[in-house]
Structure 1
Amino acid sequence: MVMKLIFFIITVACMQVSASGYAQKISINQKDAVLTKVFSSIESQTGYSFFWKNTDLTKIKVDVKLKNAPLEDALKEIFEGLPLTYSITKKSIIVQAKAPSLLDKIADVFKDTDARGIVSDANGEPLPGATVAVKDGKARAITNTRGEFILKNVPDDAIIQVSFMGYMTKEVPVGIRYLAIKLELSNSKLDEIQVMAYGKTSRRFSTGNITTVTAEEIAKQPVSNPLMALVGKVPGMMITPNTGQASGTIKVEIRGRSTVSSQFPSDPLYIIDGVPLTYLDVGGNSSYQYGSSGVIQNGMFTSGYGQSPLFNINPASISSIEVLKDADATAIYGSRGANGVILITTKKGKAGPTRVTTNISQGVNAVTRYWDLLNTRDYVKMRKEAFKNDGIVPTLLNAPDLIAWDTTRYTNWQKELWGNTGKVTRVNLNISGGNEDTQFSISPGYGKTTDIMTSSGSDQSANLAFSISNAAFNKRLKTNFRALLFQTLIQ
């Protein structure tokens, strides 16, 4: 009887302790509060402890307004609408994620977790090759020829990040599952694309001294030789034509003289689409003063020791010209790049519909101003005044120009030598296009220049630039073929 009474008293005491625990009152008034902070407040008021596993509760925020509420009622209100459930064991509250219901599982099967969209440039044209990625995530894709992309398994709260070299990086929330993203050109000079010896980079990440001249800048220069388009564009680079002819040789010097010998030219190394330009000076006519001698046609020198080899390249077919000036930029070329390196990159096809571009131009060359020199009348007057001031009588011996020559004639040799009007004619055609795997470009061109110092004849050049690029086996095998055919006629 005594044992039964003791057991009954202990049971009643436990029930009273349990009742007193559940009967504790909770008062909380917080808005947009982090769930873990709400748990801490309850722990301090009741003595209960919260436990959870593999669940990040710091991102969950709730609005709580409780006043003298029992623990059970407080927990029901806090967990209402949350993807969580709880259970109370002694003085511990276990928090777990809710198990998905059958309806939730069916909905997840049909839920679209992919993000699709299209990326366009500043003009609204599709931008192939742009990088689309989930910020702080692993999903990544490259836009196709139509600027379209697909990202797999993208969370609803993800941020989509789109980048392309030369454009400002843009971030957009995934929101709806189809996105139309328009990139804007970067106004910063640091984001301009530069071609290096071993790839491409931007000026922001370039460590060498490289100057880039773009196709737009070249197109504004009415020149037949692409080297003349660099005049005044590259700091530390001196360009001096040896003749007045469009096909004549040109002396190029980067960062001053590099040799004391007068027999060695200071010309840099030219790289055209990755291929070094090499031509041999079999006549020994190169020098520091005039640079390397040009190409000889028909076994005879033209004025200026031959034709410039770069006269054969159509400026309209050039995508960019990079001038590498310091040791860091030219190190890969060794001693051949001691005088600097000039990289010439021709245009290649871009993915998209086939485009046909035609450019026909006609221009004239003329000297608009001449040196202000004495004519025959002024010269004779000056000479006679000089003899008078010295008290000397002009004779046939001391003044044949006054006695024997015809002082009534006058010839303006400036107009006789370069007073003609030269003509420049250029015809360029470009056909390019392709798909995501294969791109092509065909660029025929013709140019004819009549110099102001010639009475007849002209410098003519016909050329054809062709390129095709292909990527196969999931872009693991890439092949490029480029060809430059030309024919020049110097008369």
Structure 2
Amino acid sequence: MKFFLHSMGRHAIFLYFLCFCFCFGSPGAWAQSTVSLSGTVSDRDGPIYGATIQVKGSTSGILSDENGYYKLPVMASDTLVFSYLGYQSQEIPVGGLKLINVVLIESVSELDAVVVNAGYYTVSEKERTGSITGISGEAIEAQPVGNVFETLQGRLTGVSIVSTGGIPGSRFDIQIRGRNSIAAGNEPLYVIDGVPYMSESMEAVFSAALTGGGNPLQALNPADIERIEVLKDADATAIYGSRGANGVILITTKQGKSGKSQLSVSVASGAAKMTRFWDMLSTEEYLEMRQEAFANTGTTPTNANAPDLLLWDQHRYTDWQRKLLGETAEITQAQVSLSGGNDRTKYRLGTSFREQGSVFPGDFSNRKVSGNLSVQHESEDGRFSTQGTVLYSRDVNKQPKNDPTYNALYMPPNAPEIYLEDGSLNFENSTFSNPYALILQSYQNTQYSFVGNLNVSYRLFQGLKLKVSGGYNRMDGEQIGQTPLASLNPAVYTTGEASFGRRTFDSWILEPQLNYMRSWNNSRLEVLIGGSFQENQFRLQEFYAKGYTDDALLDNMAAAPSFQVRQFLETDYRYMAVFGRINYNYKHRYILNVTGRRDGSSRFGPGNQWGNFGAVGAAWLFSEENWFKDSMLSFGKLRSSYGTSGNDRISDYGYLDSWTATYYNYNGQGGLYPSRLYNPNYGWEVNRKFEVALESGFWKDRIQFNVAWYRNRSSSQLIGEPLPATTGFGSIQNNLDAVVQNTGWEFELHSTPVQGDVTWRNSLLLTVPKNKLISFPDLELSTYANTYVVGQPLDITKVYNYTGIDPETGYYTFEDVNGDGTITAAEDKQTLRRSGQKYYGSFQNTLSYKGWQLEAVLQFVKQTGYSYFYDLGGAPGYIRNQPNLVLDHWQAPGDTAGVQAYTTGGVGANAYNLLQSSSAAYTDASYVRLQTVNFSYQFPKRWLDTVKLSGLRMYIQGQNLLTFTDYEGWDPETQSVGSLPPLTSWMVGMQISF
């Protein structure tokens, strides 16, 4: 030190002392020292996640966390710029402030303000790189339905939702951008508040009435839903890995909002009825058909084969459609919710009740009670936050064991009385299959559903947050199917029977995550890494009890003289994954999103349990470029993505060999037989997805036009590979080197033609899908040779080529392809017919004036489906009624007609059976449907203040109101006469807020 001071000299020491005093001793120098500034960024609805806080004129800046909190070092002379996409930027001088809380104001464009839930993260609608579409809770509540899938029909591009029947609880066929797999599951992944939800049926006891095997999401109350997002392309789904191969449906339930406590009560009442009835033959026309059929066939009517002609009243007429399907299904629903809180703690508690009757005679209904609780809390410093949600529902669905719709159509119009004088069913000396027997044979499915989710997050330091999400899902399904003695012909049966079943599904999931955000210059970086640990347990029990002599005991299995175990199954499924995401945003216009996931599934054998999946998505917001400023183009984005996802939608532990109990005893002992071969060699089915899309807005987004093209290819198909019969097994689970491709165009046009006191908004959505089997090695040598064709869609069928009615014989004729004089399936089924959608979409309109609002949705589908010939149940002339279309039939040589000669068997019956497997069994089943109408009035605030209310809305809603179609069958959507079609429903109600 002495050497150092001496070498500097006295003058140098003096100058150093002056500099020190100038820099650190003067008041001006202290004023320029850095201070720690913090605060929050929010809008009128709450904190803003990812807002940019930047020192003006420098590269220094950070992002607000999900609680809107920020903290950064600044100087008193600095000016901070607060900005977020979709909001007006604000500039605030620091001065002597240490706390600045900013409330940003939304910009004019509504598109800017939309935030999309992508599952593990959120992203603004404008900056998303993936294909994500959705529907709001308001649109869901505007429809008088009890099933959430009914609210989505026609409203989302790339999402096909088809009802399988009109009975509450019937399943919906849902496909996101087509059918990817030949044999493995094609269902999307359902996630409710971060918890995967079971999509398989909860039925243990089979019910033919609930078409499609039942719908587990029937228990979910649509009124509890805040929003539904559908993830479609690789960029959006790859972070879900194997679970996202068929798309992902994210369901977010309603959360509490800060403010004073608000009590909301909604009550509604309505009804549902059949949309239409078929014009069937009258008694006179029916009897003439029967007599002519016997004459054509050359057989004599007898008491056994023609009781309708010889034993039954020839003048009786019963309209069985209105008798069995003509009731009015009354609907009642009520909902109550309480929400409120402050900036730190928010809550919402809700409960609902809904009951829908049946169009069938008898005591049938679907009754659902649900409750939900949501609580959100954050610490005072904003570093710790937690959110918990609980959903519980009890759904009791009592329906006929078998759908009586088929009987309603084909029961002879002169059939005998339903009841005898003593009130019992009339079987007319065993000549009459009384349709009311189906009414007495009931099926009840009681389903309990519980979903719980807890998210805990802690901000370790600015930009880095640790989050742990845990969830639990339990579903219990209890079924009982009863065949009472009162429903059976006493001349044949002396005891009743019942089936009892229970399915239990337990699932837990734990997902730790680490989120990092940083902003510098014009760049923003977001990094997410996490893991997923999930386990599912499935239990199935089914028992068959018989010998009941007292119908009052049918619900007690212990009271049965004998019973047997039909099914008993226990399976476990374990799933583990690590995932990550990197998102880079430059100048809010160049965006790159990279996601990856490594999955492990217990459904594959050792060595094949792990799979790697990932995707890259990119977007260019070209409307942010300077050369597009001040033009009619207000928004323009070009985006694209490519990636892979897997599929493990097969049975649990299918790679192990298994044994099954025999149904028969030998010397009083049961036995086992081998039912599945061991094969640990198969692995993941892989789906490769590519998409390119253009999104645009004009004149401040009053017109928005989006178009997307996608191509998905699914390979390594998980399929039951056929085996020679000599092995003793029909097939073995394996990977087949077949490739299925789905391509398609998706168009969206949104506009606001009128804006002001009167506002008119409309949307036109169109999806044009195309499915094709690209390759299938040795297809012609496999058992699928008559099922699939390379280069054709998976939903094609090989059929006979219908060539018309022979004018001499009066019977249907078909092309003899190989010319051998005989029509056989192997050689002559060479014509291809497809039963599927060519395009579908909707036209949506909303017209509002002050408090009045009218919304209408037209759904349209262009498709080929089954004609009424396919499902008549028997050739015209059999002992069953027919639609009056059959009156145009062949009667004499030289006639030209649409229906062959009436017949009761023989050549005519064989010709009819061939017709059902011919090109004539397919027809145009296109339709336009007035899907939804919602008319409401919101009372003005000045009126409500006088009666101390915060809100009052009255509404009338209609669903499935009109269908315009040339389809001659029952319903163009379900295309089946054996199941109840979707019903027309109306609801009138009001919502009051205190």
The bucket for the TM-score relative to the shorter chain is 0.5 to 0.7
Task: Report the counterpart of residue 338 of structure 2 in structure 1.
Answer: 431
1:483 and 2:403 are equivalent in the alignment: no
Q: Secondary structure at the match of 1:227?
A: helix
Distance 1:407 1:365, change over 3 A: same
Q: CA deviation at 1:265?
A: 3.9
Match of 2:196 in 1: 276
Query: What is the DSSP-based 3-state SS (H/G/I as helix, E as strand, rest coil) of the residue aligned with 1:217?
Result: helix
Per-residue CA deviations over 1:15-55 (Å, capped at 9, x if unaligned) read xxxxxxxxxxxxxxxxxxxxxxxxxxxxxxxxxxxxxxxxx
The answer on whether the counterparts of 1:128 and 1:351 sit within 8 Å (CA) in structure 2 is: no
Q: Alpha-carbon deviation of 1:456?
A: 1.0
Deviation string 1:225-273 (CA, Å, 9 cap, x unpaired) is 1122111122232223334222233332222222223xx4422111111
Letter in 2 for 1:235: T
State whether residues 244 and 451 of structure 1, in contact with CA within 8 Å, keep that contact through their aligned partners in structure 2: no
Secondary structure, in 3 states, of the residue corresponding to 2:239? helix
Q: Of 109, 124, 136, which aligns to 1:186?
A: 109
Aligned residues: 355
Q: Does 1:348 align with 2:255?
A: yes
Deviation at 1:150, TM superposition (A): 13
Name the aligned partner's letter for residue 193 of structure 1.
Answer: V
Partner of 1:470 in structure 2?
377
Letter in 2 for 1:224: G
Q: How does 1:84-99 map to 2 (within 5 A)?
A: none
Q: How far 1:376 moved relative to its partner?
A: 2.2
Q: 1:294 aligns with which of 184, 202, 224?
A: 202
Whole-angstrom distance in 2 between the partners of 1:326 and 1:461:
35
Counterpart CA distance in 2 for 1:318 and 1:343 is 11
201-210 vs 338-347, greater mean Cα deviation: 201-210
Checking the alignment, whether the CA contact within 8 Å between 2:55 and 2:78 is kept in structure 1 is no
Name the counterpart of 1:362.
269
The answer to which structure, 1 or 2, has the higher relative contact order (CA under 8 A, 6+ apart) is 2
Shift of the alpha carbon at 1:152?
11
SS in structure 1 at match of 2:323? helix
The 5 Å alignment of 1:453-464 reads 453=360, 455-464=362-371
Distance in 2 between residues matched to 1:321 and 1:144, nearest whole Å: 21
In 2, the alpha carbon distance for the partners of 1:336 and 1:144 equals: 27
> Counterpart amino acid of 2:368?
S
Distance in 1, matches of 2:52 and 2:233, equals 35
More strand by share: 2
1:183–1:325 Cα change, 3 Å: closer
Separation in structure 1 between the aligned mates of residue 362 and residue 83 of structure 2, nearest angstrom: 59
Identity of aligned residues (%): 31
Superposition RMSD in Å? 4.5
Could you tell me how far apart the structure 1 residues matched to 2:191 and 2:250 are? 5
Task: Work out the CA distance in 2 between the residues paired with 1:438 and 1:266.
Answer: 41
Matched with 1:216 is 138
The amino acid that maps onto 1:169 is Y
Query: Contact 1:119–1:183 at 8 Å: present in 2 too?
Result: no
Aligned-residue offset at 1:405: 5.0
1-side partners of 2:232 and 2:103: how far apart? 42
| TM-score where L is the length of structure 1 | 0.60
Equivalent pair of 1:127/1:143 in contact (CA under 8 Å): no
Aligned twin of 2:88: 170
> Structure 1 residues 453, 232: closer, same or farther in 2, change over 3 A?
farther
Structure 2 partner of 1:255: 177
Deviation per residue, 1:164-186 (Å, 9 max, x gap)? 7xxx42246769x9999754663
Shift of 1:223: 1.4
5 Å matches for 1:435-454?
435-453=342-360
Deviations 1:275-332 (A, max 9, x none): 11137xxxxxxxxxxxx42345xx6758427652212221111111111122222212
TM-aligned CA distance change 1:246 to 1:358, over 3 Å: same
Shift in Å, 1:439? 1.4
1: CA distance, partners of 2:158 / 2:203: 27
- Residue 200 (structure 1) shift: 1.1
Deviation string 1:409-450 (CA, Å, 9 cap, x unpaired) is 222232223211011111111211222222111111111111
Distance in 1 (alpha carbons) for counterparts of 2:185 and 2:315: 48
Q: CA deviation at 1:383?
A: 6.6
Instruction: Tell me if the contact between 1:139 and 1:154 (Cα under 8 Å) persists in the aligned partners.
Output: no
Shift in alpha-carbon separation, 1:483–1:403, aligned structure 2, 3 A: same
Alignment of 1:222-237 (within 5 A): 222-237=144-159
Alignment gaps of 5+ in structure 2: 1-26, 32-36, 399-994
Q: 1:219 to 1:339 in 2, by over 3 A?
A: same
Alignment partner, residue 414 of structure 1? 321
Deviates more, 1:438-447 or 1:149-158: 149-158
CA 1:484–1:248: 2 relative to 1, 3 Å:
same
Is 1:238 the counterpart of 2:146 in the alignment?
no
Match in the other structure for 1:14: none
Query: 2:246 matched to which residue of 1?
Result: 339
Partner of 1:325: 232
Task: Give the Cα–Cα distance (whole angstroms) in 2 for the partners of residues 180 and 201 of structure 1.
Answer: 20
Distance 1:312 1:382 in 2: 47
Q: Which runs of 5+ in 1 are unaligned?
A: 1-103, 109-113, 280-291
Distance 1:370 1:402 in 2: 26
Structure ID, larger Rg: 1
Distance 1:157 1:473, change over 3 A: closer
SS of 2:110 mapped into structure 1: coil
Match of 2:120 among 192, 198, 212: 198
Are the counterparts in 1 of residues 201 and 216 from structure 2 also a CA contact under 8 Å?
A: no
CA displacement at 1:119 relative to structure 2: 7.9
